[in-house]
Amino acid sequence: MSTPSLAGRRIVVSAGPTFEDLDPVRFLGNRSSGKTGFAIAAAAAARGARTVLVAGPVSLATPAGVERVDVRSAAQMHAAVMAALPADVYIGAAAVADFTPARVSDHKIKKRPGEDGLVLQLVRTADILADVAASARRPSLVVGFAAETGDVEANARGKLERKRLDLVCANRVGLAGSGFESDDNALLVIGDGLRRELGPASKVELADALLDLVAERLG
């Protein structure tokens, strides 16, 4: 079977972690390597899509034919993704911080004699995926990921509905050899009338299988 083309389509993909600065030397981050989002962007460009990759701080090479926008924080990723619309498809593979420090210290936070702890005040970040799905420039297809440590399918279905997505790719994280950092993963893709298990396979193979579903849904 030939690979379904995405020629003429514009696809925006987010990838990697976000880093939320606490002070000039420290930040809150997560274990996302960016491999998933970069593989999706590479596969989309290879199928002829005009592809914008909004990348958090990762050390991966830019895939051929992809326009890359580098960001650091959740707020910067939000702004870059919204600026990349309109698009036919948005795929949110990034692990975006749900909380960010209420304020960033200008100076390195010091430990003081007698202090045996530090309380950080965090505030919610804006939800990029939900904002893309609610946007007046909503892409025809909004695809989210759900990184879950338990109740994978139920939690993913909750995100599909709450964030008004067309597809959600659920993955179990925290297990050796899947989810974050590794080269392989397994996805459960859920959408209207769709429940498809992909993998276990390499993230490159999963990206291609996901884009088959995307191309099918775009019609």
Give residues in contact with ligand PMT (CB under 6 A): 14, 16, 32-36, 74, 92-96, 98, 125, 127-129, 144-147, 159, 171, 173, 179-181, 203
Please choose, from the candidates 19, 146, 35, 130, the residue with its C-alpha nearest in 3D space to the C-alpha of residue 77. Answer: 19
| Nearer residue to ligand PMT within complex by CB, 33 or 51 | 33
| Nearer residue to ligand PMT within complex by CB, 181 or 197 | 181
Note the maximum CA span of the chain: 68
Total Cβ atoms within 10 A of residue 102: 9
**Residue 106 to residue 101: CA distance in whole angstroms:** 13
Min. distance of Cβ 177 from ligand PMT in angstroms? Answer: 12
HSE-up (13 A, CA, CB side) for residue 131 = 14
Per-residue tokens: 24: 């000039």
Is 30 annotated as catalytic?
yes
Distances (CA, A) of 54 to 92, 135, 158, 191, 216: 10, 18, 25, 24, 24
Min. distance of Cβ 47 from ligand PMT in angstroms? Answer: 20
**Residue 128 to residue 73: CA distance in whole angstroms:** 12
Min. distance of Cβ 2 from ligand PMT in angstroms? Answer: 27
Q: Which residues are tagged catalytic?
A: 30
